[in-house]
């Protein structure tokens, strides 16, 4: 058992993980780590440098040298993300990155490097970490594990609103089918798929307000 407090929040895209994790981290004074942002940052760098999924050498170079850091929250609540000290907050959320991130995050070489990094942060700080494999693989001994779900319709509605607020509005049905495809890929991959840990508390947030979800988790912690 680690000396730090670790809280794992997993679930599919748009289940409300990041908003809830961020709010809980602020309430508890813990560090919030958005692991999806880390996979997105690697995807962005690979796209910008035209690196193929099969080019292990160049991917390995990136993984060894890249510095992904998190900054303060912005007025809309989102956390700033920096790739090698350059603000990449907007770019990592682009539809282009969203379309490729599942393939990149299925690569064992990428997962190994990012999981190491995530464990290191969690070994040194009290953390709330959100992702797909936090309770199962990254922090199997986390003191609290939650798995948030919601219907595909509701998750699309939330993502759609988020994207509109970020000035990246997308057609609802296109977004819905992209989210469904991403969930499918994330759940079917061989290396640490999207899955609830056996000891995770499952919460369907479809009909809950954000405050209700936060309160629910907070009371259990």
Identify which of residues 144 and 182 has a Cβ nearer to ligand DC in the complex.
Answer: 182
- The least CB distance from residue 182 to ligand DC, in Å, is 5
Give the number of other CB atoms < 10 A from CB of residue 70: 17
133 touching ligand DC, by CB under 6 A: yes
d(CA 114, CA 34): 12
User: At its nearest, how many Å lie between ligand DC and the CB of residue 170?
Assistant: 14
Q: Tokens 């193929």 sit at which residue?
A: 52
Rounded CA separation 121/129 (Å): 10
CA separation for the pair 141, 77 (Å, rounded):
29
Give 63's contacts (C-beta < 8 A, 6+ positions apart).
Answer: 42, 109, 110, 113, 114
| Residues 167-206 as x/- pattern, contact with ligand DC by CB under 6 A | ---------------x---x--------------------
Bridge partners (DSSP) of residue 6 are 127
Stretch that binds ligand DC, among 32-40, 139-147, 150-158, 207-215 (CB under 6 A): 32-40
**By C-alpha distance, which of 73, 162, 117 is closest to 131?**
117
Of the two residues 107 and 214, which places its CB atom closer to ligand DC in the complex?
A: 107
Instruction: Tell me whether residue 79 or residue 219 sits nearer to ligand DC (CB atom).
Output: 79
Which stretch, 36-44, 78-86, 146-154, 197-205, contacts ligand DC (CB under 6 A)? 36-44
Q: Pick the closer one to ligand DC by CB: 45 or 131.
A: 131
Q: Name which of 5, 24, 1 is nearest 203 in CA terms.
A: 24
Contacts with 28 (C-beta within 8 Å, 6 or more apart), sequence order:
126, 128, 221
Q: Which is nearer to ligand DC, 159 or 214 (CB)?
A: 159
Q: How far is the CB of 35 from ligand DC (least distance, A)?
A: 4
**Residues numbered 67-106 forming contacts with ligand DC, rule: CB under 6 A:** 101-102, 105
Binding mask 7-26 for ligand DC (x = CB under 6 A): ------x-------------
Q: What is the largest CA-CA distance in the chain?
A: 47
Q: Please report whether residue 131 would count as binding ligand DC according to CB under 6 A.
A: yes
Residue among 22, 40, 91, 144 that touches ligand DC (CB under 6 A) = 40
The span from the first CA to the last CA of the chain, in angstroms, equals 17
Is residue 144 within 8 A of residue 220, CB to CB? The reply is yes
Binding site for ligand DC (CB under 6 A): 13, 35-36, 39-40, 101-102, 105, 131-134, 182, 186
């Amino acid at each position: 058992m680690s000396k730090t407090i670790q809280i794992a929040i997993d679930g599919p895209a748009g289940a409300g993980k990041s908003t809830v994790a961020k709010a809980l981290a602020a309430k508890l004074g813990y560090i919030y780590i958005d692991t999806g942002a880390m996979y997105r940052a690697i995807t962005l760098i690979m796209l910008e440098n035209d690196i193929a999924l099969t080019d292990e050498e160049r991917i390995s170079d990136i993984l060894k040298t890249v510095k992904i850091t998190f900054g303060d929250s912005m007025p809309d609540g989102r956390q700033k993300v920096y790739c090698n000290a350059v603000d990449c907050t907007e770019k990592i959320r682009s539809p282009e990155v969203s379309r490729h991130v599942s393939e990149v995050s299925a690569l064992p070489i990428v997962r190994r490097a990012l999981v190491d990094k995530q464990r290191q942060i969690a070994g040194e700080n009290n953390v709330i970490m959100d992702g797909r494999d936090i309770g199962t693989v990254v922090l199997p001994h986390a003191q609290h594990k939650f798995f948030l779900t919601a219907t595909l319709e509701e998750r699309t509605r939330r993502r759609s609103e988020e994207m509109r607020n970020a000035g990246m509005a997308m057609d609802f049905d296109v977004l819905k089918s992209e989210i469904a495809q991403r969930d499918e890929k994330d759940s079917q991959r061989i290396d640490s798929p999207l899955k609830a840990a056996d000891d995770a508390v499952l919460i369907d947030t479809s009909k809950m307000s954000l405050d209700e979800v936060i309160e629910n988790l907070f009371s259990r912690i």
